[in-house]
Structure 1
Amino acid sequence: MNDSQNDSQSDPKSVSLGPEAASDPILDSLLKGMPEATHEPGGVQTYRVRMSDGAHLATRLYVPAGTGRWPAVLIRYPYPGMRPYLEATADVWTRYGYAVVLQDCRGTGESEGEWIPFENERRDGLDTIGWMLEQPWTNRRIGTYGPSYLSAAQWAMADALPPEVKAMALAGFTTERYRQLYMNGMFRLDVYTGWAIDNAGVPGVPAEGLFAKAIGTVPHIAMDEELFGRKLPWYREWIANVSPEDAYWREGFWAELRDIPGRVRTPVLLVDGWFDQHLDGMTRDYRKLPPATRAASRFILGPWVHSMQASGDYPMPGAERNHLKDALEWFDHHLKGREYPHPTGGVEAYAIGEGRWKRWDGWPEPDGFRTFYLGGGRLNGEPSVAGEAARFRYDPDRPVPTRGGAGLLRYLSGADDAAPAGSVLQPPPGEREDVLTFESEPLAEELPIAGSIRVHLFASSDAEDTAFAANVMEVLPDGRAFNIRDGIVSLAYRGGATRPRPYEPGSVAEADIELWPIVWTIKAGSKLRVDVSSSNFPAYHAHRNVSGPWALQTEKRIANQTIYGGKDRPSRIVVPYKKD
């Protein structure tokens, strides 16, 4: 590899890619459904591109066959195991007349420097774009591309891009980092503890059973030293800073990242799934874009998990989509000046339960709301006159296991103990004594949900702090139930508190949960069901029923919980609907 920031000499060992590369099964799958190629892939050149602080990052350049200057696509990634897939992706882009720069993020793969997740991507990305603009193989029209962390690398520099960067294509990542790690004071173990142990950068640690050991470590703050023999400072920051008001979230990188969408001027193709862990934040990122940028951008929302594929048990006909083709059309328009075949500025969303796609000019605002009141095991149109109470006993050592949902990631590992993501078949009522079930009568007409369902609970506990969780489902006429949305709240962070609030054991508190948005039509004849418990594990940590920072706790207790109903304490769910 070369040791230069500015020259473009290639490695003498560069190779050419010919049509025979199409025998690659990854490449075959990527090319399926794509339009007819316009070019053949050319050679691969390898570089060590010098960053402004002197570190050298391993960089590979893929170009179409022949000579010329090409529009260029930048892809930056930290996962060595992803390289075969991205090499095939680069091959595809060259077949449509694009040069592709594929770069190992700092401290990963063959790149120099220290791996500190997220924090170097802005500087390194901008340095790399500066290098690209000086090369003879580009026509100085650049797009940035890639899902998940590859989108994080784009967001990090999105408000500082030079005018030669004409478009971005992002999927499955948000700038709302705090909201992705926590919901109302409850930490997402499955996603972020799982990600942390997979990206700890400590070689030689057996993977088998590692996640179970991690989430079973008490106090959790000691997990890194017990598993890896050293601290992971960035993970400790995540689990120690529970309040969004903590300086860790309000200052520095994460605060800067959260504000970036409001300053973006480059058109963005946003793609996400209803069951992706970044869904909540990506909907906010879209709405944060300046009006002119949002009008030039596009947001596609499908019934997908983080892999941008449908998963789970609920049928999703017509959910398949060629995301690479979507990106190709986007870049062909912005980098090559071709007509864009779709309207911009709005949201295109898959309506679960209808099996079809809908489009709105902006974020879909509801036409109205329908309220269902909890009481006597039922969801009723009115609260009961008499006060009601339903009780259960919550043991942190026996948490309710996660069954489906959006706040999950470990399923991608294929681990046998990983909770399945998406909408999955739920257990029948009464399977556990620590889960309360409330069910409506069969709906007389369909209920087209669009937006965020809100759960309002009047609750009490004999613990000094605890949690309450809700799982909203559709029950089909044959009795099968499928999860729509779930959420959780700790009493310390009830009412949208940004700092922990004290709770007096035995007192009645209002615990509200705003579930993530969804477009889902419950058909006439189906029922609406809500399960209320105190846990959803390991999607969220199992609350130990004691107050204080969760990752530092060593004690736990069993809590006696009560959910109230009636006119004076109307526990309820409020469902937004939008008709065609």
Structure 2
Amino acid sequence: MIIYDERTKMPDGIELSSDIYLPEGKGKSTVILFRTPYGKNSDELLNTARQFSKRGFVFIANDVRGRGESDGKFIPYFSEAEDGSRLIEIFAGKPWSNGNVITWGASYSGRIQWLTALKKPEHLRGMISIVPPSDPFVENPSVSTSPMNLSWLFSLRGRGMQNINSVDWEEVYRSLPLINMPEKIGVDIPFWKQYFINSPESEFWKPLFYQGKMNNLNLPVMHISGWYDDEQIGTFINYENMRKYSESDFSRKNQSLIVGPWGHSVNKDIKNDHIDFGNNSKLDLVEIESQWINTILEHRYVNNDERVMVFAMGPNRWIKSSDWPLKGCKNIRMYLSSEKSAAGISGDGRLIFDKPSYGLRADQFTYNPMDPVPYLSGEGFAQIGGPDDYSEIEKRKDILVYTSGKMEEGLTIAGKITGRIFISSDCEDTDFTMKILDVHQDGYAQRLQDGITRLRYRNGPFQEAPYEPGKIIQIEIDMWSMFHEIKKDHRLRIEISSSAFPKYARNQNIAGNQYDTTNYKVAKQKIYHGQQYSSEIEMQTVDNL
């Protein structure tokens, strides 16, 4: 049975709309609450709701404030904590509810669960948080929002989803100044300007920070993401923080983690772009989630040996473990090296296991913001990047390429990947990007992960640090996490440049605000290596799966 457009009044008089899927029978059931800005009537959602309902749950799909059939004005994220908390308590008291509420959902719906949980609604028993965005400025440490975020805001204009395919996004993304990008489309998107006029430490962003507050939470959580999820880092931060800091032993031990070979839309296909991960890469997630809900509601602990389930890409199989990182995980370092120049794939850049013993050397390139290095992706916001082939792009001379020899045996990356490089620039501010790739025997250069550091924010988004042009400094680039085997006879590769467009906004290589100007400089960049300035990557690895 489905109850359509159930109206629920908020304290300010605004009514929110929900569709309620009731299981067969007249008993009381656990409520699974899903709140979304993307519409509650898709075929995919209908299928998920019916699957949960068949397993005895009440599934509620709610249009967030200002979207779909709900009243009010939509301002991304800012009303969700209060609205979500209120809905949990109201639905918990309905005749068909047993008083237990689990929140469920992905992406936007994943993040707002955390904001709601911090309100400590009495009847919230747990969360299934899928691919949630992090705190502001975690995923984009350059602080300037991604140009591609505009396609997301455009899609959410009005109450229904807008078709983003009507816009030439490549032309829009290239327009400057950044703050005026919506004018290129011919629409007014007020929230776009908030990304630029509010600094990271401003009061404006504070309601959206949740990852440093998990010591205030006492909830079991199932965390789900994909290795190619473009917001993957949030899932790992949340899992680790809840395991360490949540309020009770019951909460800390009932954190579960699932990471598959997926993008931001988890568990959809066995292929991710050109890479086939096999039939077993797809799970019956609703069944797994249902079993987990029943476990925590019975006040039992999840199986310690199966708390974590992660997909090893390469061997293409699931690994179950008591925690993440895996037991036996160790850190290894590899070092950048070259004889003459690492510029482009035709250069002689090498990635080696032994720290260089020679004196100071430098590889250099020129970064022109008007000719940025392309980042392979669709034009819209739904999925930014995947296991794409960068071999053609690596012919550019504004990319430094460092490649290992053929692996004599497999090397399995199983955790965090961090670059630490010594750099200099002739500009007061600029960016440095890094990408790690698996080079197949046929030359396919498969992107694994990447990251960026903006010089002024090299110490974090809340501590702007001036840079003196020409000075050699060390910076760190976070490339998140991966579980992937570099197979025998494959090679490991590192790319370094200063742009990955349009995933990241171009640094215009000037001091001061860049969002409101078309001014730019061309930067001359240097990467140093050798005994004194050993630029390196550090990876967590495992020897045996």
Q: Same fold (TM over 0.5)?
A: yes
Q: CA deviation at 1:456?
A: 1.8
Aligned partner of 1:284 in structure 2 is 237
Shift of the alpha carbon at 1:135?
1.6
Q: Separation in 2 of the partners of 1:80 and 1:159?
A: 25
Deviation of the 1:61 alpha carbon = 1.9
Question: 8 Å contact 2:451–2:478 — kept in the other structure?
Answer: yes
Note if contact 1:329-1:340 (Cα within 8 Å) is conserved in structure 2. no
Judging changes above 3 Å, is the alpha-carbon distance between structure 1 residues 272 and 429 closer, same or farther for their aligned structure 2 residues?
closer
Most deviating of 275-284 and 171-180: 171-180
Q: What SS class does the counterpart of residue 166 from structure 2 fall into?
A: coil
Q: Aligned partner of 1:355: which letter? A: N
Q: Which residue of 2 aligns with 1:352?
A: 313
In structure 1, what is the equivalent of residue 345 of structure 2? none
Task: Return the letter of the residue paired with 1:196.
Answer: L
Q: 1:322 maps to what in 2?
A: 284
Q: CA deviation at 1:516?
A: 0.5
What is the match of residue 193 of structure 1? 150
Specify the alignment match of 1:385 in structure 2: 358
Match of 1:474 among 432, 438, 442: 438
Measure the CA separation in 2 of the matches of 1:281 and 1:258: 9
Identify which of 468, 484, 487 aligns with 2:448. Answer: 484
Residues 344 and 157 of structure 1: CA distance in aligned 2, closer, same or farther (over 3 Å) = farther
Change (3 A) 1:267 1:114: same
Contact 2:132 2:235 (8 Å CA) reproduced: yes
- Deviation digits for residues 178-229 of structure 1 (CA, Å, limit 9, x no counterpart): 213x224453333x22212222339999852253344233211122355354
Query: TM-score when scaled to structure 1?
Result: 0.83
- Gap change, CA 1:62 and 1:426, over 3 Å in 2: same
1:155 aligns with 2:114: yes
Give the superposition deviation at 1:529: 1.0
Equivalent of 1:363 in 324, 330, 353: 324
Q: 1:45 to 1:109 in 2, by over 3 A?
A: closer
Within the candidate set 239, 253, 261, 1:295 is matched to 253
Q: In structure 2, which of residues 468, 475, 489 is the aligned counterpart of residue 511 of structure 1?
A: 475
- Whether 1:403 and 2:357 are equivalent positions in the alignment is no
Deviation of residue 549 (structure 1)? 2.6
Task: For residue 308 of structure 1, give the secondary structure of its aligned residue in structure 2.
Answer: coil
Q: How does 1:325-344 map to 2 (within 5 A)?
A: 325-335=287-297, 337=298, 342-343=303-304
Q: Percent identity?
A: 28
Match of 2:533 in 1: 569
What letter matches 2:334 in structure 1?
A: T
Q: Secondary structure of 1:224's match? A: helix
CA-CA distance at 1:548 after TM superposition: 2.1
Separation of aligned partners in 1, 2:106 and 2:364 = 44
Change (3 A) 1:457 1:54: same
- In structure 2, which of residues 399, 405, 413 is the aligned counterpart of residue 435 of structure 1? 399
The CA distance in 2 between the partners of 1:556 and 1:262, in whole Å, is 44
* Conserved? CA contact 1:375–1:383, under 8 Å: no
Is this contact kept in 1: 2:40–2:63, CA < 8 A?
A: no
On the 8 A contact 2:432/2:499 being kept in 1, the answer is yes
Contact 2:15 2:70 in 1 (8 A): yes
Aligned counterpart, 2:346: none
Aligned residues: 522
- Secondary structure of the residue aligned to 1:118 is coil
Q: 1:69 to 1:453 in 2, by over 3 A?
A: closer
Contact 1:390 1:564 in 2 (8 A): yes
Instruction: Give the residue type in structure 2 aligned to 1:326.
Output: I
**Separation (CA, whole Å) in 1 of partners of 2:228 and 2:163:** 31
**Paired residue secondary structure (1:546):** coil
Q: Is the 8 A contact 1:156 1:260 kept in 2?
A: no
**Whole-angstrom CA distance in 2 between matches of 1:342 and 1:205:** 44
Residues 473 and 445 (structure 1), Cα distance of their counterparts in 2 relative to 1, 3 Å cut: same
Give the match's secondary structure for 1:117: coil
Contact 1:272/1:302, CA 8 A, preserved across alignment: yes
Q: Shift in Å at residue 275 of structure 1?
A: 1.2
SS of aligned partner of 2:372 = coil
The aligned amino acid for 1:388 is R
Task: Flag the 1:58–1:486 CA change in 2: closer, same or farther, 3 A.
Answer: same
C-alpha distance in 1 between matches for 2:164 and 2:461: 40
1:115 CA drift (Å):
0.6
Q: Deviations over 1:423-448 (max 9, x none)?
A: 12221585112111111111233222
Which amino acid is the alignment partner of residue 337 of structure 2? Answer: L
**Aligned with residue 172 of structure 1, among 118, 131, 152:** 131
Q: In structure 1, what is the equivalent of residue 204 of structure 2?
A: 248
Is the counterpart of residue 271 in structure 1 residue 217 in structure 2? no
Partner SS for 2:395: coil
What residue identity is the alignment partner of 2:73? Answer: E
Kindly provide the CA deviation profile for residues 333-377 of structure 1, in whole angstroms up to 9, marking residues without a partner as x: 345x49888547832211122212223322216323232233231
**How big is the shift at 1:388?**
1.7
Deviation at 1:110, TM superposition (A): 1.1
Aligned to 1:450, the other structure's residue is in SS state strand
Q: Which amino acid aligns with 2:513?
A: P
SS of equivalent residue, structure 2 residue 17: strand
Matched residue type, 1:122 = A
| Gap change, CA 1:451 and 1:409, over 3 Å in 2 | farther
Cα separation, 1, equivalents of 2:434 and 2:164: 35
The structural deviation recorded for 1:122 is 1.4
Task: Judge conservation of contact 1:375–1:566 (CA < 8 Å) in 2.
Answer: no
Render the CA deviation track for 1:399-454: whole Å, top value 9, x for unaligned. Answer: 111136xxx892648xxxxx6x3212221585112111111111233222122222
Measure the CA separation in 1 of the matches of 2:450 and 2:186: 33
Contact residue 152 and residue 381 of structure 2 kept, 8 A: no
Alignment match of 1:261 (pick from 214, 219, 223): 214
Query: Paired residue for 1:38?
Result: none
| Cα offsets for 1:160-182 (capped at 9, x unmatched) | 444533222110104423213x2
Shifted more, 553-562 versus 338-347: the winner is 338-347
For the structure 1 residues 439 and 186, does the alpha-carbon distance in structure 2 shift closer, same or farther, using more than 3 Å as the test? farther
Q: Which runs of 5+ in 2 are unaligned?
A: 340-348
1:15 alignment partner in structure 2:
none
Find the residue that maps to 1:453 and give its secondary structure.
Answer: strand
SS at match of 1:552: coil
Provide Cα deviations, 1:105-141, integer angstroms capped at 9, x if missing partner. 1111111111111111111112112221332122222
Aligned to 2:28: 69
Displacement after TM superposition at 1:562 (Å):
1.8
Letter matched to residue 380 of structure 2? R
- Alignment match, 2:336: 373
Residue 131 in structure 1 maps to residue 90 in structure 2: yes
Secondary structure of the residue aligned to 1:573 is: strand
Kindly tell me: are residues 312 and 499 of structure 1, through their superposed partners in 2, closer, same or farther at Cα, counting changes over 3 Å?
Answer: same
**Cα-Cα RMSD:** 2.7
Q: Could you tell me how far apart the structure 2 residues matched to 1:327 and 1:579 are?
A: 31
* Equivalent pair of 1:384/1:565 in contact (CA under 8 Å): no
Instruction: Name stretches of at least 5 consecutive residues in structure 1 with no aligned partner.
Output: 1-41, 414-418
In 1, Cα distance between equivalents of 2:163 and 2:387? 33
Give me the whole-angstrom Cα distance separating, in 1, the residues matched to 2:448 and 2:457: 24
CA distance in structure 2 between the partners assigned to 1:85 and 1:476 by the alignment: 35
The one-letter code sitting in structure 2 at the alignment partner of 1:248 is F
Cα–Cα, structure 1 residues 548 and 346, in superposed 2: closer, same or farther, change >3 Å? farther
Q: Does residue 559 of the first structure (1) align with residue 523 of the second (2)?
A: yes
User: How does 1:33-48 map onto structure 2 within 5 Å?
Assistant: 42-48=1-7
CA gap 1:47/1:576 in 2 versus in 1, 3 angstroms: closer
Amino acid of the structure 2 residue aligned with 1:403: L
Residue matched to 1:424: 388
Q: Against the structure 1 CA distance between its residues 69 and 371, is the aligned structure 2 distance closer, same or farther, given a 3 Å change threshold?
A: same
Whole-angstrom distance in 1 between the partners of 2:424 and 2:447: 26
